[in-house]
A and B are shown apart, each in its own frame.
Chain A
Amino acid sequence: MQFLTDKHIDFLGKKKIAATISMLLILAGVVSLIVKHGPLLSIDFRGGSIVELRITPAPEVSKVRSALAEGGIKVSQVTTFGGPQEVLIYVDKLDESEAVTGEHQTVQGVVAKALPDHQVELRREETVGPKIGEELRKGATNAIFVSLILIVLYITFRFVFNFGLAAVLTLVHDVLITLGLFSLMNKEISLSIVAAFLTIIGYSLNDTIVVFDRIRENMRLRRKESYEDVVNRSINETLSRTIITSLTTVFVAFILYLIGGAVIHDFAFALTVGIVVGTYSSIYVSSPLVILWYKWRSSDRKRGKRGALA
């Protein structure tokens, strides 16, 4: 079985449509981010406490909420999480001393007392102090920047600088769209989402480099052809691989999203979106950016005189 061989699709001819789509997607996300004062951070980054309880039979969330209020536990949000029996409780920041001695009434204890005919089981409890939250925030930001810089350096070393620049702009494009989507959908950015972003960066780059590699090769082999033709040919030649790999990876990411469990639900969601966006961008974003650079650098010079790239 084969498909997508020698299709000769004029990808670059659609670069204006692609640019419009990309701009709209980014704009929607950025507007949402501005309106909501930045991304919605999870307790990993802003500090705080969550408690997940499994209550059987499934309780009414309002009852859990009133039970907590009566028990003197201040909560900012009570929702179900992955199923009607799983209740996720966002506890307001505890006084540090309270958190230490643990002498405050436990969330589980209060709920169990208020719902005597239910079985209340602690599934998960996470508390992040404000200091650690800030450290994690810094760490995550650093990690994304450090990996971007290292990647530019590596691509510059293996290809040329403008390929590296185009690759990183593509990555920024991918992460911005995913981040924007998270903001639009009111999903929280947690540590694992940052891990997903870094994976998307690595993955999208993988795709981009495969195309770049072919562009580099074709530029050497076909010196007479224009930049556009070489790039278009390269995208077409690698298209089959791009689609197959994206499909297999998106399959597994999507399966993870469907049946991987509530804890990694958002992580798998970020991966699925990121892979789709990454595939799109390696075809429609990174290559046009490379062309743009050449056009800008050698506005009237013929390509043939500039010789090989790398």
Chain B
Amino acid sequence: MKRSLQIKAALIVVLAIWAGINLWPTLQLSRMSAAKEKALASTPEGLTKLDKLHSHAIKRGLDLQGGMYLVLDVDQSTVEKGTSEDAIKRTLEILRNRIDQFGVSEPDVRREGTSRIIVQLPGLQDAERAKRLIGKTARLEFRMVREGADVTSLLARLDRVLATSGSLPDSVESALDKESELSASDSTAADSSSTKMAQAASDSSKGDLLSDLGGKDEESTGEVGDWEKEHPLTSLMGPFLKNRGALPVSEANKPRVDALLHTPEAQRIMPRDVEWLWGSEQLTGNDGRPAFLLYLVDKKVELTGGEVRNAGVSPDPDRPPLLMVNLGFSRRGGIKFANVTGANVGRKLGIVLDDVVISAPNIRQRIPNGSAVISGGFERDTEARDLALMLRAGALPADVKIAEERTVGPSLGRDSIKQGVNAAILGFIVVVLFIILYYRMAGVLATFGLFVTLLLLMGLLAQLHLTLTLPGIAGIILTVGMAVDANVLIFERIREELRAGKTVRASIDAGYANATRTIVDANITTFIAAVVLYYFGTGPIKGFAVTLSIGILTSMFSALIFTRTVYDFWLQGRTPRKLSI
């Protein structure tokens, strides 16, 4: 046997064994039933074994196993100058912290570029909750709420300024137009007994808290009375609610109130030390219409979430079965909290999360023990739990925006695998039948070549810890189609040489020699396209580029080295007259 032949044969055997070893964990996992996997996971040794298998198996992309892919933009405008690097590092850390506590297996949180963070959560069940948990800054602040004369005198001044400023700014006008269009149907349905603010500003009990929300959105007559003209702002609200420390505003009026408060005229007369903030709680008025609370809150922050040592949930005794969040302050925070509560007995302490008031309890007495409760009337248990979780993990040093999101439900992932694998198997069968029919024994050889191509391709995927995505499967299927090409080029050349009257041995030699150059040239150009695709592509597309480019390499190997070696073996000590091709 020729030495070069021996080396080639050895190379092929070694590569095949190497690929087999690499693929073993993947094979074992794919053959393992769910029940067996569970049984294994129940014992510690089994679990380590399972983890080891998983870490060596080909990873499935989020589009195949289901999960969430998020690109977050760290809002540089919310970061102090010169600290953005630090802010991003801390954001990463806090996000990791939150996600760890959320409990997702194998989450991936990493930084991309200067101000982006990529979060990948495989096998996620509740996408909306995860988004809330990740996207929230969770900046908790304790700030005093203004009441009484502070509010009414400011409102009176705002009314005066807004009334005299004449025409409303465009933004408000358009908001009004849009609003009147949208509410056209329900404004006729609503009762016309719109009481005005001037009338009975009595301290309403909680039951009929919102019987009076101001009447401007009920203007079915289309006429604007004098009273509304003189009170453009307060006519949109109900009377100040002493027990809540806030002004009720119907949902329909909320955008208008917001727009009015943000006009330059209104901004100009706002005192420097206070601001208007909305409450998170959605209330329901007697007439069933939703409403929100508007608070006048000190800008001065008495205490931040940074002073929170630990946070948990417990049942809210006043509002079963709802939960409340319990806070434990640090030593310093506890002292501060005691001082603040001591100095402000009888007032309301606003608990502000990301510029939204989640509750504003009355301070009945000084609270010395360094703990507090947030009973924001969380609608769902998860809301309270998530708030506690975020307070434990800490606030993000900068706001983040979700710039891109791709979520795949687990059932779609399963379907994709099934369909992808079916397409691959059917494609493989069709191609193999076709080439065996067309090239006979040579076709059988090419089929073995195809197996080698796929074996090496999958082996490389496992070895390089690459992720298999749905486009990746498409790339493999395409490889099956294209891998045949190199064989076809060779076989057609050999046929040509045979037709020209050469011997079998000479035809094979010439066929391979002539086809090699063509194969290399043709594949390198496809390879160029695949590499470019890899560099520009994101997520799943990268998976396609990877399998396509690896497929090109392995199919070249199988055609130029594997099938050639088989022919060389066959020709050893033999001078065949005919070649089945």
A247→B485 CA distance, assembly (Å): 10
Q: Which of B408, B435, B488, B532 has the most CB of A within 10 A?
A: B532
| Residues A101 and B525 in contact in the complex (CB < 8 Å), given A143-B536, A198-B533, A213-B517 | no
Q: Would you give the shortest CB distance from A299 to chain B, in whole angstroms?
A: 30
Residues in B whose Cβ lies below 8 Å from that of A142: 536
At the interface, yes or no: A31 with Cβ under 8 Å from chain B? no
24 A/B residue pairs, CB under 8 Å, sorted by A: A99-B135, A99-B405, A109-B128, A126-B407, A129-B402, A143-B535, A146-B532, A147-B529, A154-B525, A158-B521, A192-B540, A192-B541, A202-B525, A202-B528, A205-B525, A206-B523, A213-B518, A214-B518, A241-B492, A249-B478, A252-B423, A252-B431, A256-B477, A261-B416
At the interface, yes or no: B274 with Cβ under 8 Å from chain A? no
At the interface, yes or no: A124 with Cβ under 8 Å from chain B? yes
Residues in A whose Cβ lies below 8 Å from that of B88: none
Interchain CB contact (< 8 A) of A154 among B434, B471, B492, B528: B528
A15→B5 CA distance, assembly (Å): 47
- Name the residue on A nearest B533 (C-beta): A198
Q: Would you give the shortest CB distance from B199 to chain A, in whole angstroms?
A: 32
Chain B residues engaging chain A, CB cutoff 8 angstroms: 63, 71, 73, 127-128, 131-132, 135-136, 354, 399-409, 411-412, 415-416, 419-420, 422-423, 426-427, 430-431, 434-435, 437-438, 440, 470-471, 474, 477-478, 480-482, 484-485, 488-489, 492, 495-496, 499, 514, 517-518, 521-530, 532-533, 535-538, 540-541, 544-545, 548
A123→B416 CA distance, assembly (Å): 11
Residues in A whose Cβ lies below 8 Å from that of B496: 237
Residues in A whose Cβ lies below 8 Å from that of B533: 143, 147, 195, 198-199
Q: Would you give the shortest CB distance from B391 to chain A, in whole angstroms?
A: 16
Q: Would you give the shortest CB distance from B415 to chain A, in whole angstroms?
A: 6
Q: Which 3 A-B pairs have the closest CB atoms?
A: A202-B526, A202-B529, A249-B481
Q: Would you give the shortest CB distance from B431 to chain A, in whole angstroms?
A: 5
Beta-carbon contact of B73 and A206 below 8 Å: no
Residues in B whose Cβ lies below 8 Å from that of A99: 135, 401-402, 405
Q: Which of B440, B478, B489 has the most CB of A within 10 A?
A: B478
A256→B485 CA distance, assembly (Å): 19
At the interface, yes or no: A155 with Cβ under 8 Å from chain B? yes
Beta-carbon contact of A121 and B409 below 8 Å: yes
Interface string of A160-192 (1 = CB under 8 A from B): 000000000000000000000000000000011
- Name the residue on A nearest B71 (C-beta): A132
Beta-carbon contact of B474 and A147 below 8 Å: no
| Residues A267 and B401 in contact in the complex (CB < 8 Å), given A248-B431, A249-B482 | no
Residues in B whose Cβ lies below 8 Å from that of A124: 406-409, 412
Chain A interface secondary structure, helix, strand, loop or mixed?
helix
Q: Would you give the shortest CB distance from B549 to chain A, in whole angstroms?
A: 10
- Name the residue on B nearest A142 (C-beta): B536
Residues in B whose Cβ lies below 8 Å from that of A123: 408-409, 411-412
A to B contact number (C-beta, < 8 Å): 238
Residues in A whose Cβ lies below 8 Å from that of B420: 260-261, 264
Interchain CB contact (< 8 A) of B426 among A102, A207, A213, A259: A259
Interchain CB contact (< 8 A) of B529 among A121, A199, A260, A271: A199
Q: Would you give the shortest CB distance from A283 to chain B, in whole angstroms?
A: 15
| Residues A203 and B482 in contact in the complex (CB < 8 Å), given A139-B536, A209-B521 | yes
At the interface, yes or no: A263 with Cβ under 8 Å from chain B? yes
A14→B543 CA distance, assembly (Å): 41
Beta-carbon contact of A129 and B132 below 8 Å: no
At the interface, yes or no: A96 with Cβ under 8 Å from chain B? yes
Beta-carbon contact of A261 and B401 below 8 Å: no
Q: Which of B399, B412, B530 has the most CB of A within 10 A?
A: B412
Residues in B whose Cβ lies below 8 Å from that of A62: none
At the interface, yes or no: A103 with Cβ under 8 Å from chain B? yes
Residues in B whose Cβ lies below 8 Å from that of A250: 481
Beta-carbon contact of A251 and B485 below 8 Å: no
Chain A residues engaging chain B, CB cutoff 8 angstroms: 1-2, 5, 52, 54, 96, 99-103, 106, 108-109, 121-129, 131-132, 136, 139-140, 142-143, 146-147, 150-151, 154-155, 158, 191-192, 194-195, 198-199, 201-203, 205-207, 209-210, 213-214, 217, 237-238, 240-241, 244-245, 247-253, 255-256, 258-261, 263-264, 267-268, 271
Interchain CB contact (< 8 A) of A195 among B437, B471, B527: B471
Q: Would you give the shortest CB distance from A136 to chain B, in whole angstroms?
A: 7
| Residues A122 and B73 in contact in the complex (CB < 8 Å), given A195-B545, A249-B485, A251-B434 | no
Beta-carbon contact of B401 and A129 below 8 Å: yes
Beta-carbon contact of B404 and A128 below 8 Å: yes
Beta-carbon contact of A252 and B480 below 8 Å: yes
Residues in A whose Cβ lies below 8 Å from that of B492: 238, 240-241, 244
| Residues A210 and B415 in contact in the complex (CB < 8 Å), given A126-B406, A248-B431, A249-B481 | no
| Residues A147 and B434 in contact in the complex (CB < 8 Å), given A125-B407, A192-B471, A213-B518 | no
| Residues A102 and B135 in contact in the complex (CB < 8 Å), given A143-B536, A249-B485, A253-B478 | yes
Beta-carbon contact of B401 and A195 below 8 Å: no
Beta-carbon contact of B529 and A100 below 8 Å: no
A227→B380 CA distance, assembly (Å): 79
Residues in A whose Cβ lies below 8 Å from that of B415: 261
Q: Beyond the given A150-B528, A205-B525, A256-B474, please list 6 additional residue pairs across the A-B interface where CB-CB is below 8 A.
A: A1-B437, A2-B495, A96-B401, A132-B403, A245-B488, A251-B427
Q: Would you give the shortest CB distance from B467 to chain A, in whole angstroms?
A: 16
| Residues A206 and B485 in contact in the complex (CB < 8 Å), given A128-B404, A213-B517 | yes
Beta-carbon contact of A251 and B529 below 8 Å: no
Q: Would you give the shortest CB distance from A115 to chain B, in whole angstroms?
A: 17
A151→B426 CA distance, assembly (Å): 33
Q: Which of B71, B485, B499 has the most CB of A within 10 A?
A: B485
Beta-carbon contact of A255 and B438 below 8 Å: no
Interchain CB contact (< 8 A) of A256 among B406, B423, B524: B423
Beta-carbon contact of A121 and B478 below 8 Å: no
Residues in A whose Cβ lies below 8 Å from that of B431: 248, 251-252
Beta-carbon contact of B403 and A131 below 8 Å: yes
Residues in A whose Cβ lies below 8 Å from that of B408: 123-124
- Name the residue on A nearest B540 (C-beta): A192
Residues in B whose Cβ lies below 8 Å from that of A263: 63, 412, 416, 470
